[in-house]
Amino acid sequence: MAIDKNQVVSIEYDLTEKGGSDILDSNKGSEPLQFITGKDQIIPGLESQMADMSAGEEKQISVPAAEAYGEVNPEAVETLPAEQFAGLELKEGMQLYGQGENGETVMVTVKSFDENSVTIDYNHPLAGKDLTFNVKVLDVREATPDEVLSGKVGGGSDESCGTGCGCH
């Protein structure tokens, strides 16, 4: 049975850069990744290529950069005054979290720095990279109406009453 829209899919995976052997990310041996299909909760190239899979199936999936974290955007690099980073022990390649213009959490990578300025990169660390996922589908089930509405596996809103309270 193929994976369809509004289904909860549980997977385990290893992620490498295409042609590489170093594992960049993995959830094997820990909790499965669960997502609701059609809600843009995982990278589009991975979700679209999993559409013909079913529970118990394993597959190696190659995802081009454009369908993963996008191409590198040179305009997403910014140089800021060093005093904005006072108190931080900066290292090239380190990732920092801040707040965006609309209150969202933003991750940046420190590209370079000196005593006067810090150059940061807003691109995702995997932007511009073709990726390979070794995926195993552990489970596929229909999403409940609450899950479809909320976009969260388990459904409902954690803010209203906490988890597992049975109020929905």
Does residue 165 surpass a pLDDT of 50? Answer: no
Does residue 138 surpass a pLDDT of 90? Answer: yes
pLDDT score recorded for residue 159 = 44
What is the pTM assigned to this prediction? 0.78
Please enumerate in sequence order all residues whose Cβ is within 8 A of that of 146, keeping only pairs 6 or more positions apart, or say none: 155, 156, 168
Average pLDDT over residues 142-149: 93
pLDDT score recorded for residue 168 = 34
Amino acid at the residue 36: I
Q: Is residue 168 part of a domain?
A: no
Does residue 99 surpass a pLDDT of 90? Answer: no
Please check whether residues 59 and 81 belong to one and the same domain.
no
Contact present, 149 and 36 (Cβ < 8 Å): no
Please check whether residues 131 and 49 belong to one and the same domain.
yes
Q: Is residue 149 part of a domain?
A: yes
pLDDT score recorded for residue 157 = 53
Count the Cβ atoms, other than its own, within 10 Å of residue 91: 8
User: CA-CA distances (angstroms) from residue 91 to 51, 96, 122, 126, 127?
Assistant: 41, 10, 16, 19, 20
pLDDT in tens, 1-28: 578 889 999 999 999 999 999 999 999 9
How many domains is the chain partitioned into structurally? 2
Please state the separation of Cα 144 from the chain's center in Å.
23
Average pLDDT over residues 40-61: 95
pLDDT score recorded for residue 156 = 61
Domain that residue 28 falls in: 7-69+127-155
Please check whether residues 142 and 64 belong to one and the same domain.
yes
pLDDT in tens, 69-93: 999 999 999 999 999 999 999 999 9
Count the Cβ atoms, other than its own, within 10 Å of residue 162: 10
Please check whether residues 93 and 14 belong to one and the same domain.
no
Count the residues in the chain.
168
pLDDT in tens, 108-134: 999 999 999 999 999 999 999 999 999
